Amino acid sequence: MRRMLDFQNEAGVRLFLDHGADPRLPLRPGLRPQVQQALVVSGRASTITALLDRGADPDESWHGMSAYKVAVRFGRDEAAAVLAARGADTSTVNDHDRAIGACVAGRTPPPVRGPIAALDVLEQVARAGHVDAVRALLDLDPSIDTVLHRTRALHAAVWTGRGAVVKLVLERGVDLAYRNEYGGDALGATLHGSVNCQDPNGGPGSKLSEEAHPGDYPEIVEMLLAAGIAVPARVDSGSAAVRDVLRCHGAVDPE
Protein backbone atom coordinates (compact mmCIF):
# COMPACT_ATOMS: atom_id res chain seq x y z
CA MET A 1 0.00 0.00 0.00
CA ARG A 2 2.89 2.34 0.71
CA ARG A 3 4.01 2.08 -2.91
CA MET A 4 0.46 2.84 -4.05
CA LEU A 5 0.67 6.02 -2.01
CA ASP A 6 4.07 6.80 -3.55
CA PHE A 7 2.61 6.56 -7.06
CA GLN A 8 -0.59 8.46 -6.19
CA ASN A 9 -2.65 5.37 -7.01
CA GLU A 10 -5.77 5.87 -4.92
CA ALA A 11 -7.55 2.87 -6.44
CA GLY A 12 -4.61 0.71 -5.35
CA VAL A 13 -4.68 2.20 -1.85
CA ARG A 14 -8.37 1.39 -1.54
CA LEU A 15 -7.78 -2.13 -2.84
CA PHE A 16 -5.28 -2.81 -0.08
CA LEU A 17 -7.47 -1.16 2.54
CA ASP A 18 -10.44 -3.26 1.44
CA HIS A 19 -8.32 -6.37 1.91
CA GLY A 20 -7.20 -5.57 5.43
CA ALA A 21 -4.15 -3.32 5.13
CA ASP A 22 -3.68 -1.40 8.38
CA PRO A 23 -2.88 2.31 7.84
CA ARG A 24 -1.63 2.47 11.44
CA LEU A 25 0.98 -0.26 10.95
CA PRO A 26 4.45 1.09 11.76
CA LEU A 27 6.85 1.07 8.83
CA ARG A 28 10.61 0.71 8.97
CA PRO A 29 12.47 3.59 10.67
CA GLY A 30 12.95 6.67 8.54
CA LEU A 31 9.79 6.34 6.45
CA ARG A 32 6.91 8.74 6.79
CA PRO A 33 3.74 7.14 8.17
CA GLN A 34 0.91 6.45 5.76
CA VAL A 35 -1.26 9.56 6.15
CA GLN A 36 1.74 11.87 6.02
CA GLN A 37 3.08 10.18 2.89
CA ALA A 38 -0.29 10.64 1.21
CA LEU A 39 -0.26 14.31 2.20
CA VAL A 40 3.23 14.95 0.84
CA VAL A 41 2.89 13.05 -2.43
CA SER A 42 -0.57 14.04 -3.61
CA GLY A 43 -2.59 15.48 -0.74
CA ARG A 44 -5.86 14.19 -2.17
CA ALA A 45 -8.59 14.64 0.41
CA SER A 46 -10.30 11.47 -0.83
CA THR A 47 -7.17 9.40 -0.15
CA ILE A 48 -6.84 10.89 3.33
CA THR A 49 -10.51 10.16 3.97
CA ALA A 50 -10.06 6.53 2.90
CA LEU A 51 -7.13 6.08 5.29
CA LEU A 52 -9.01 7.72 8.17
CA ASP A 53 -12.08 5.57 7.48
CA ARG A 54 -9.89 2.49 8.05
CA GLY A 55 -8.58 3.74 11.37
CA ALA A 56 -5.64 6.01 10.56
CA ASP A 57 -4.81 8.50 13.30
CA PRO A 58 -5.74 12.10 12.35
CA ASP A 59 -3.04 13.25 14.80
CA GLU A 60 -0.38 11.01 13.29
CA SER A 61 3.06 12.43 14.07
CA TRP A 62 6.46 12.03 12.43
CA HIS A 63 9.63 13.67 13.71
CA GLY A 64 7.46 15.82 15.93
CA MET A 65 5.29 17.12 13.08
CA SER A 66 1.58 16.36 13.05
CA ALA A 67 -0.35 15.30 9.96
CA TYR A 68 -2.39 18.50 10.15
CA LYS A 69 0.77 20.60 10.23
CA VAL A 70 2.09 18.74 7.17
CA ALA A 71 -1.17 19.35 5.32
CA VAL A 72 -0.99 23.08 5.99
CA ARG A 73 2.72 23.34 5.11
CA PHE A 74 2.16 21.59 1.78
CA GLY A 75 -0.84 23.74 0.89
CA ARG A 76 -3.24 20.78 1.07
CA ASP A 77 -6.26 22.83 2.12
CA GLU A 78 -8.97 20.21 1.50
CA ALA A 79 -6.97 17.50 3.24
CA ALA A 80 -6.33 19.83 6.19
CA ALA A 81 -10.08 20.45 6.44
CA VAL A 82 -10.73 16.70 6.46
CA LEU A 83 -8.20 16.16 9.24
CA ALA A 84 -9.66 19.02 11.29
CA ALA A 85 -13.17 17.62 10.87
CA ARG A 86 -11.91 14.25 12.13
CA GLY A 87 -10.57 15.79 15.32
CA ALA A 88 -6.96 16.63 14.44
CA ASP A 89 -5.30 19.12 16.77
CA THR A 90 -5.13 22.34 14.74
CA SER A 91 -3.15 24.19 17.40
CA THR A 92 0.09 22.65 16.10
CA VAL A 93 0.11 25.10 13.16
CA ASN A 94 1.75 28.54 13.32
CA ASP A 95 2.06 31.53 10.99
CA HIS A 96 5.23 30.14 9.41
CA ASP A 97 3.38 26.95 8.42
CA ARG A 98 0.57 28.97 6.87
CA ALA A 99 3.03 31.14 4.96
CA ILE A 100 4.86 28.10 3.60
CA GLY A 101 1.59 26.49 2.55
CA ALA A 102 0.49 29.67 0.82
CA CYS A 103 3.67 29.68 -1.25
CA VAL A 104 3.05 26.11 -2.35
CA ALA A 105 -0.61 26.74 -3.14
CA GLY A 106 0.14 29.86 -5.18
CA ARG A 107 -1.34 32.33 -2.72
CA THR A 108 0.26 35.47 -1.32
CA PRO A 109 1.80 34.43 2.00
CA PRO A 110 1.02 36.39 5.16
CA PRO A 111 3.88 38.43 6.62
CA VAL A 112 6.06 36.45 9.02
CA ARG A 113 8.89 37.17 11.41
CA GLY A 114 11.94 35.16 12.26
CA PRO A 115 13.75 32.32 10.49
CA ILE A 116 11.73 30.11 8.15
CA ALA A 117 12.41 26.35 8.18
CA ALA A 118 10.94 24.72 5.09
CA LEU A 119 13.56 22.37 3.69
CA ASP A 120 11.11 19.45 3.73
CA VAL A 121 8.63 21.35 1.57
CA LEU A 122 11.26 22.95 -0.66
CA GLU A 123 12.81 19.60 -1.58
CA GLN A 124 9.43 18.09 -2.42
CA VAL A 125 8.25 20.93 -4.66
CA ALA A 126 11.65 21.00 -6.36
CA ARG A 127 11.42 17.26 -7.01
CA ALA A 128 7.92 17.76 -8.42
CA GLY A 129 9.04 20.58 -10.71
CA HIS A 130 6.85 23.31 -9.19
CA VAL A 131 9.14 26.18 -10.11
CA ASP A 132 6.74 28.91 -8.97
CA ALA A 133 6.46 27.31 -5.53
CA VAL A 134 10.25 26.96 -5.30
CA ARG A 135 10.67 30.63 -6.19
CA ALA A 136 8.01 31.71 -3.70
CA LEU A 137 9.62 29.72 -0.90
CA LEU A 138 13.06 31.14 -1.64
CA ASP A 139 11.56 34.63 -1.71
CA LEU A 140 9.55 34.13 1.49
CA ASP A 141 12.35 35.18 3.78
CA PRO A 142 16.11 35.55 3.34
CA SER A 143 16.73 33.07 6.12
CA ILE A 144 15.23 30.24 4.08
CA ASP A 145 17.50 31.06 1.16
CA THR A 146 20.61 29.32 2.48
CA VAL A 147 23.14 27.50 0.36
CA LEU A 148 22.14 24.16 1.91
CA HIS A 149 18.46 24.71 1.12
CA ARG A 150 19.17 25.61 -2.48
CA THR A 151 21.67 22.81 -2.92
CA ARG A 152 19.32 20.17 -1.55
CA ALA A 153 16.59 21.53 -3.81
CA LEU A 154 19.03 21.24 -6.73
CA HIS A 155 19.71 17.58 -6.01
CA ALA A 156 15.98 16.86 -5.75
CA ALA A 157 15.33 18.58 -9.07
CA VAL A 158 18.17 17.09 -11.09
CA TRP A 159 17.20 13.53 -10.20
CA THR A 160 13.69 14.03 -11.57
CA GLY A 161 14.88 16.08 -14.55
CA ARG A 162 13.22 19.38 -13.65
CA GLY A 163 15.17 21.82 -15.81
CA ALA A 164 13.28 24.99 -14.88
CA VAL A 165 13.86 24.40 -11.17
CA VAL A 166 17.53 23.60 -11.77
CA LYS A 167 17.98 26.85 -13.68
CA LEU A 168 16.34 28.84 -10.88
CA VAL A 169 18.35 27.40 -8.00
CA LEU A 170 21.62 27.61 -9.93
CA GLU A 171 20.92 31.30 -10.48
CA ARG A 172 20.43 31.69 -6.72
CA GLY A 173 23.80 30.08 -5.97
CA VAL A 174 24.48 26.54 -4.75
CA ASP A 175 27.32 24.43 -3.40
CA LEU A 176 28.39 22.33 -6.39
CA ALA A 177 30.83 20.36 -4.21
CA TYR A 178 27.99 19.09 -1.98
CA ARG A 179 27.45 15.32 -2.06
CA ASN A 180 24.16 13.71 -1.18
CA GLU A 181 23.57 10.76 1.13
CA TYR A 182 24.57 8.39 -1.68
CA GLY A 183 27.91 10.12 -2.20
CA GLY A 184 26.98 11.73 -5.50
CA ASP A 185 27.28 15.34 -6.62
CA ALA A 186 24.59 17.06 -8.70
CA LEU A 187 25.97 15.70 -11.97
CA GLY A 188 26.04 12.17 -10.59
CA ALA A 189 22.45 12.53 -9.41
CA THR A 190 21.49 13.76 -12.90
CA LEU A 191 23.13 10.79 -14.60
CA HIS A 192 21.48 8.34 -12.22
CA GLY A 193 18.07 9.96 -12.61
CA SER A 194 18.33 9.98 -16.41
CA VAL A 195 18.34 6.17 -16.34
CA ASN A 196 16.42 5.29 -13.19
CA CYS A 197 13.76 7.97 -12.67
CA GLN A 198 11.10 6.48 -14.90
CA ASP A 199 8.35 8.10 -12.86
CA PRO A 200 9.18 11.38 -11.07
CA ASN A 201 6.33 10.90 -8.59
CA GLY A 202 7.18 7.39 -7.55
CA GLY A 203 10.82 6.88 -8.39
CA PRO A 204 12.18 3.79 -10.14
CA GLY A 205 9.72 1.54 -11.88
CA SER A 206 9.23 -0.78 -14.81
CA LYS A 207 8.08 1.09 -17.89
CA LEU A 208 8.67 0.87 -21.60
CA SER A 209 11.10 3.48 -22.91
CA GLU A 210 8.29 5.34 -24.66
CA GLU A 211 6.30 5.46 -21.41
CA ALA A 212 9.09 6.64 -19.12
CA HIS A 213 9.35 10.24 -17.96
CA PRO A 214 11.90 11.86 -20.32
CA GLY A 215 13.04 14.71 -18.08
CA ASP A 216 15.31 17.58 -19.07
CA TYR A 217 18.49 15.63 -18.34
CA PRO A 218 20.65 16.67 -21.32
CA GLU A 219 19.82 20.34 -20.72
CA ILE A 220 20.54 19.92 -17.00
CA VAL A 221 23.96 18.42 -17.73
CA GLU A 222 24.76 21.45 -19.90
CA MET A 223 23.65 23.79 -17.11
CA LEU A 224 25.74 22.00 -14.48
CA LEU A 225 28.85 22.00 -16.65
CA ALA A 226 28.36 25.70 -17.41
CA ALA A 227 28.01 26.33 -13.67
CA GLY A 228 31.41 24.80 -13.00
CA ILE A 229 31.03 21.06 -12.41
CA ALA A 230 33.93 19.26 -14.04
CA VAL A 231 33.40 17.06 -17.09
CA PRO A 232 33.98 13.44 -16.08
CA ALA A 233 36.89 11.76 -17.80
CA ARG A 234 34.78 8.83 -18.95
CA VAL A 235 31.21 8.31 -20.09
CA ASP A 236 30.24 5.34 -17.98
CA SER A 237 26.68 6.14 -16.88
CA GLY A 238 23.59 8.07 -17.88
CA SER A 239 21.05 7.85 -20.66
CA ALA A 240 22.12 7.83 -24.30
CA ALA A 241 21.21 11.52 -24.70
CA VAL A 242 23.16 12.46 -21.58
CA ARG A 243 26.18 10.48 -22.73
CA ASP A 244 26.11 12.32 -26.04
CA VAL A 245 26.30 15.65 -24.20
CA LEU A 246 29.27 14.49 -22.14
CA ARG A 247 31.08 13.25 -25.25
CA CYS A 248 30.60 16.66 -26.85
CA HIS A 249 32.41 18.15 -23.82
CA GLY A 250 35.37 15.77 -24.11
CA ALA A 251 34.43 12.75 -22.03
CA VAL A 252 35.40 9.45 -23.62
CA ASP A 253 33.84 6.01 -23.62
CA PRO A 254 35.34 3.44 -21.26
CA GLU A 255 37.78 1.09 -22.92
Distance CA 19, CA 219 (A): 45
DSSP β-ladder status, 65-66 and 61-62: antiparallel
Q: What is the DSSP string of 180-235?
A: -TTS--HHHHHHHHHHH-SBTTTBS----TTTS---SHHHHHHHHHHHTPPPPSB-
Interval 56-98: pLDDT, tens: 999 999 988 999 999 999 999 999 999 999 999 999 999 999 9
pLDDT reported for residue 153: 95
- For the segment 189-201, the average pLDDT, to the nearest whole number, is 87
Distance CA 160, CA 195 (A): 10
The pTM score is: 0.89
Distance CA 29, CA 239 (A): 33
Predicted confidence (pLDDT) at residue 241 exceeds the cutoff of 70: yes
- For the segment 198-223, the average pLDDT, to the nearest whole number, is 78
Domain range annotation of the chain:
1-93, 113-255
In the CATH scheme, what architecture does the domain 1-93 have? Alpha Horseshoe (1.25)
In the CATH scheme, what architecture does the domain 113-255 have? Alpha Horseshoe (1.25)
Distance CA 176, CA 215 (A): 21
**Is 137 strand, coil or helix?**
helix
